[in-house]
Amino acid sequence: MKAELITIGDEILIGQIIDTNSAWMGQQLNLHGIEVYQVTSVHDNREHILKALADAEKDADLVLITGGLGPTKDDITKECLCEYFATELIYFPEVFEHVESLLSARNVTINQLNRDQAMLPASCTVLHNSVGTASGMWFERNGTIFVSMPGVPFEMEAIMTEEVFPRLIKLGILESIVHKTILTLGLPESMLAEKIEHWENALPNFIKLAYLPSALAVRLRLSAYGTDRALLETEIDKQVKELLTIIPENIFGFDDENMALVIGRILISTSKTLAVAESCTGGNIAHSITSNSGSSAYFKGGVIAYSNEIKIKLLDVPDEMIEIHGAVSQQVAEAMAIGAQKALNADYSISTTGIAGPDGGTAEKPVGTVWIAVAGPSGVKSEKFIFRHNRERNIIRSTQTALNLLRMLILNDIKE
């Protein structure tokens, strides 16, 4: 089964929005064993949309289309689908009722644009949109299934989950692909590749390995293809176990896990708590932690000490220390970590102080210089890093590195 995705909208091509829908659909289709053959992004333009539909029909068994279904004039997907499938828009009273009830719950008065959303192609199966006013549409022709959905991510996700997947499963569309992603930190891609070369070369030929480096991790993705799903899973598990013996320190998690989640799990199992004291990361460590649901079980909170005044007042960093060593120093980083541990009454703490950029760098402390400290029952540890990227990336790298230092400290405490 080959799937193709078509995303429609000028806003994607001029880069005003990032196409997260394709990633979500690719991921979900994969979990269901369907391979995405190609993603194509096209303009809100009749000829271009019709060409993309025709091209996709040649190659794909399933064509998922997003975008261009809003109530406004720039959205022309519905008209193009009518032309492509030689049908016409007709009025669906049940869709109108749904739009009406949804908008009245939001205290929005219905207008002609909303009314038009109940006009849908006569030959399609309407897919209910439980969270929005633009319905999905399902067409079939010459063995190819076409599904059109709105481009708003949570509306597309609702239609996929509630309408599209149940129908595809009912039709018996399934293929076995098993993926496992191993999250590593601490080794650059080429060193990692060298270290695991023998393991990689010994992989059975139905397992493929891919390297996916990012600011957060170098991820290794294993993909096994075949008919016997159970066998694929067993073989993948076996390979992962072997890899764990080769780079045990560097593997911090699997699949969709994130570093903060992994740390949270350890803290819950050991009944310990965590606090943060952030300067250059400006709240991003706390945000990474609290993005995981259930984090209130171990995360007490933190102090964002963006000014020296706050470092002194809320984290008890001595005035003179900042004067002598500067705010970006080992001494201040350690004092902040200890200060957070005390002020927030937590077992563990993380602190950051550095220069995220683009301004504020000096010859001695260039942009990207960050001191990170982690404190725990066994004491405080600190380390200096120079990331030399742009502001956004410096913040992300500082956050991830700080969390990893904490992970190492906690694991070390557990061992002892």
Task: Looking at residues 229 to 288 of the shown chain, list those that interact with a second copy (rule: CB under 8 A).
Answer: 276, 278, 281-287
The span of 85-93, 121-129, 162-170, 190-198 binding a second copy (CB under 8 A) equals 190-198
The span of 136-144, 165-173, 184-192, 316-324 binding a second copy (CB under 8 A) equals 184-192
The span of 21-29, 89-97, 161-169, 246-254 binding a second copy (CB under 8 A) equals 21-29
Nearer to a second copy, 45 or 87 (CB): 45
Nearer to a second copy, 70 or 121 (CB): 70
- CA-CA distance, 392 to 401, in Å (whole number)? 14
Coil, helix or strand at residue 34 = coil
CB 183 within 8 A of CB 251: yes
Q: How far is the CB of 346 from a second copy (least distance, A)?
A: 10
In degrees and rounded to multiples of 5, residue 152 shows phi and psi of -65, 120
Query: Is residue 211 a contact residue for a second copy (CB under 8 A)?
Result: yes
* Closest C-alpha among 321, 347, 319, 320 to residue 334: 321
- CA-CA distance, 122 to 110, in Å (whole number)? 23
Task: By CB under 8 A, name the one of 1, 32, 33, 39 that touches a second copy.
Answer: 39
Find where tokens 């439980």 sit: 130
Nearer to a second copy, 123 or 215 (CB): 215
Q: How far is the CB of 18 from a second copy (least distance, A)?
A: 4
Q: How far is the CB of 208 from a second copy (least distance, A)?
A: 7
Q: How far is the CB of 87 from a second copy (least distance, A)?
A: 26
User: How many positions of this chain bind a second copy (CB under 8 A)?
Assistant: 108
Q: How far is the CB of 8 from a second copy (least distance, A)?
A: 11
* Residue window 97-116: x/- pattern of binding to a second copy, with contact defined by CB under 8 A: ------x--x-xx-x-xx--
CB 267 within 8 A of CB 410: yes
Contacts of 221 (CB under 8 A, 6+ apart): 179, 180, 181, 182, 209, 210, 212
- CA-CA distance, 68 to 10, in Å (whole number)? 9
Query: Is residue 299 a contact residue for a second copy (CB under 8 A)?
Result: yes
- CA-CA distance, 285 to 52, in Å (whole number)? 43
Q: How far is the CB of 86 from a second copy (least distance, A)?
A: 25
Which amino acid type is present at position 145?
I
* Closest C-alpha among 14, 236, 364, 27 to residue 5: 27
How far from 97 is each of 92, 116, 117, CA to CA, in Å?
9, 12, 11
Query: Is residue 15 a contact residue for a second copy (CB under 8 A)?
Result: yes
Q: How far is the CB of 323 from a second copy (least distance, A)?
A: 18
Task: By CB under 8 A, name the one of 47, 88, 237, 392 that touches a second copy.
Answer: 392
CB 91 within 8 A of CB 76: no
Q: How far is the CB of 104 from a second copy (least distance, A)?
A: 13
Q: How far is the CB of 304 from a second copy (least distance, A)?
A: 4
Start-to-end CA span in the chain (Å): 52
- CA-CA distance, 133 to 407, in Å (whole number)? 45
* Residue window 337-376: x/- pattern of binding to a second copy, with contact defined by CB under 8 A: ------xxx----------xxxx-----------------
- CA-CA distance, 70 to 79, in Å (whole number)? 12
| Interacting residues with a second copy between 140 and 179 (CB under 8 A) | 152, 154, 179
Task: By CB under 8 A, name the one of 33, 71, 186, 326 that touches a second copy.
Answer: 71
